[in-house]
Amino acid sequence: MAQDNFSKIISHAKEYGFIFQSSDIYDGLSAVYDYGQTGVELKNNIKQYWWDAMVKMQESIVGLDSAIFMHPKVWKASGHVDAFNDPLIDNKDSKKRYRADELIEEQLDKIQKKVDKEINKARKRFGDDFDEEKFVSTHPRVVKYLGKIEKLRSRFIEALKNEDLDELKQIILDEEIADPVSGSRNWTDVRQFNLMFDTKLGSVDGAKIYLRPETAQGIFVNYLNVQKTGRLNLPFGIAQIGKAFRNEIVARQFIFRMREFEQMEMQYFVQPGTEKEWFPYWRDKRMNWHKALGFDDALFRLHEHDKLAHYASAAYDIEFDFPFGFKELEGIHSRTNFDLGRHQDMSGKKIQYYDNERGESYVPYVVETSIGLDRTFLMVLSAAYTEEKLEKETRIVMKIPAPLAPYKVAVLPLVKKDGLPEIAGKIMDELKYDFNCYYEEKDSIGRRYRRQDAIGTPYCITVDHQSLDDNTVTIRERDSMKQERVPAEQIFDIVNQKVNMKTLLKQI
Ligand code: ATP
């Protein structure tokens, strides 16, 4: 997907009420966004798809809605006060701020792209006879590039592991990495920057508290409450959807990286040792959730972490091919008993599970699935945005999976008179209990179809003069643009078959 597609998607999202910059009339607030009239519907449907798949369909998982503010000790125990940092670096000439680790990752990508270019060139030249493995291990330029990547990557990982900020800067200097905006190589030192927002609780001398940077801790500190009152046996999970806040250093990629965003997280509590089975189980299950949406499978891939977070023993990302390349969409983490153990130590409360079978008590292990709701929204927008060349024009159609579409049906009287709006009104009254419906009587029918295509409405129902005689209507399908005349009583079944969330859930 090309970068120029990205700017088209961003303007389309604004033009059709999906996403607005926050505080737009005051020129916006950086990396904060609002969801408009169509956006909120799509967002709610994504939430419902996740909740149904993770809670409604799973006997062993229950929900939770914990508060954003939590006791400050929570963030001390979780390690966020001391370790939730990103290394930042400023360019002295452009005054732009970057994440030092991202500059180095981009450098690695750049070299990898050179390798890919050589491979593609050779593939074209040799055709069917091309032996990629042999080419990669013998072609002098490719061998040189790959050697460079390996050396740079291991130096980089070592520096991250040791939190060696001087070494990160030295890598940037040695690699002659320039500011992507100004081309300048005049860098400051690398500094650690804590990503948590803080505020004060209560009046004047209130204690410093944080806006949560992840929803997971709300689940951990409620583990005992939920396990006891729900009388739950291991393995079981707790899921929640909610806002999280991070003072991101660089936030220039629309809703991919925001300072206020939403997460959908599930912590699965298991017997120690069994996390080795549950980890691949949840990784694959989550990948199926994405693939069930029906977009091209090649848009998704798994990426294993080189550097593990302070709490993790294994971690994979599910990455999506965004218009700016493959990037993390969801994280699957094996979090050991780190969080519950730390809360047990810090609070002095015993957080243990008595295992009848094993006849012992222990702190459960955790496998976590953590996905950004806004990133999922951007994934759907990016994959759905389609420009289609027709005979006389280009139509823009959002091929949003029907169960997630903001509106499921648009009801359109052909003209605003002769009793057609009344019939259309009756159809609306019948459908609106089950589907989010859109009613529109202005403009030519062709224009109205285009507007519905642009917001991804799977079906348009047109009421015309024939409807007055025989109570039939025309139903038009978004992707094929096929139109069919059907009795009005059949509308519900036709639409329901396609837009029901069941169609997605059954494939996971
Ligand atoms: P990144 O490496 O992109 O900063 P992360 O590894 O810090 O992400 P996690 O802490 O694993 O992310 O959070 C889980 C999920 O929350 C991510 O996969 C992503 O979808 C989402 N997420 C994290 N930070 C942001 C953000 N600033 N804006 C939007 N979504 C986010």
- Condensed to tens digits (0 to 9), the pLDDT of residues 367-415 reads 999 999 999 999 999 999 999 999 888 999 999 999 999 999 999 999 9
213 ligand 1 Cβ < 6 A:
no
- Condensed to tens digits (0 to 9), the pLDDT of residues 442-498 reads 999 999 999 999 999 999 999 999 999 999 999 999 999 999 999 999 999 999 999
Mean pLDDT of 499-506: 95
Is the distance from CB of 99 to CB of 249 less than 8 angstroms?
A: yes
Same domain? 227 vs 322 = yes
Residue 122 sits in a domain whose CATH number is: 3.30.40
Same domain? 238 vs 310 = yes
453 ligand 1 Cβ < 6 A:
no
- Condensed to tens digits (0 to 9), the pLDDT of residues 166-186 reads 999 999 999 999 998 889 999
Give 215 Cα–ligand 1 centroid separation in angstroms.
12
166 assigned to some structural domain? yes
Domain count, the chain: 3
6 assigned to some structural domain? no
User: Does the structure show a pLDDT above 70 at 236?
Assistant: yes
3-state class of 455 per DSSP? helix
DSSP annotation string for 103-150: HHHHHHHHHHHHHHHHHHHHHHHHGGG--HHHHHHH-HHHHHHHHHHH
pLDDT at 462: 97
Closest ligand 1 atom, residue 258 Cα: 28
Is the distance from CB of 282 to CB of 367 less than 8 angstroms?
A: yes
pLDDT at 307: 67
Give 372 Cα–ligand 1 centroid separation in angstroms.
6
495 assigned to some structural domain? yes
Mean pLDDT of 248-270: 93
DSSP state, residue 294: -
Same domain? 439 vs 383 = no
Same domain? 77 vs 101 = no
Residue 63 sits in a domain whose CATH number is: 3.30.930.10
2 assigned to some structural domain? no
- Residue with the bigger pLDDT between 25 and 311: it is 25
Of 379, 384, 388, whose CA–CA distance to 456 is shortest? 384
User: Does the structure show a pLDDT above 60 at 435?
Assistant: yes
Same domain? 280 vs 416 = no
Same domain? 96 vs 172 = yes
Most confident region among 107-111, 417-421, 440-444, 455-459 by mean pLDDT: 455-459
pLDDT at 56: 97
Residue 443 sits in a domain whose CATH number is: 3.40.50.800
pLDDT at 128: 86
Closest protein CA for atom 11 of ligand 1: 331
374 assigned to some structural domain? yes
Is the distance from CB of 211 to CB of 196 less than 8 angstroms?
A: yes
Mean pLDDT of 129-157: 93
Is the distance from CB of 42 to CB of 402 less than 8 angstroms?
A: no
Same domain? 332 vs 454 = no
Is the distance from CB of 374 to CB of 327 less than 8 angstroms?
A: no
Sorting pLDDT into bands at 50, 70 and 90, what band is 3? low
Sorting pLDDT into bands at 50, 70 and 90, what band is 254? very high
User: Does the structure show a pLDDT above 70 at 310?
Assistant: no
pLDDT at 49: 98
17 assigned to some structural domain? no
- Condensed to tens digits (0 to 9), the pLDDT of residues 326-355 reads 999 999 999 999 999 999 999 999 999 999
Same domain? 375 vs 418 = no
Q: Which domain holds residue 459?
A: 395-505
Same domain? 211 vs 347 = yes
Mean pLDDT of 273-277: 94
pLDDT at 2: 56
31 ligand 1 Cβ < 6 A:
no
State the Cα–Cα distance between residues 478 and 436, nearest whole angstrom: 16
| Whole-number percent of the chain with pLDDT over 70 | 98
Same domain? 141 vs 220 = no
CA–CA distances in Å: residue 124 to residues 17, 112, 133, 146: 44, 19, 15, 21
Closest ligand 1 atom, residue 265 Cα: 14
Mean pLDDT of 59-69: 97
Q: What is the pTM of this model?
A: 0.89
Pocket test for ligand 1, best of 196, 249, 257 (most atoms within 8 A of CB): 257
Sorting pLDDT into bands at 50, 70 and 90, what band is 262? very high
258 ligand 1 Cβ < 6 A:
yes
Same domain? 288 vs 323 = yes
Picking from 192, 208, 225, the residue at the C-terminal end of a domain is 192
489 assigned to some structural domain? yes
- Name the H helices within 418-490: 420-431, 445-455, 465-470
Picking from 162, 177, 192, the residue at the C-terminal end of a domain is 192
- Residue with the bigger pLDDT between 127 and 22: it is 22
User: Does the structure show a pLDDT above 90 at 250?
Assistant: no
- Average pLDDT value for the chain: 94
Q: Is 91 exposed, middle or buried (0-12, 13-18, 19+ CB in 10 A)?
A: buried
Sorting pLDDT into bands at 50, 70 and 90, what band is 164? very high
Picking from 192, 218, 243, the residue at the C-terminal end of a domain is 192
22 assigned to some structural domain? no
| Whole-number percent of the chain with pLDDT over 90 | 86
Give 331 Cα–ligand 1 centroid separation in angstroms.
8
Same domain? 256 vs 120 = no
Closest protein CA for atom 25 of ligand 1: 257
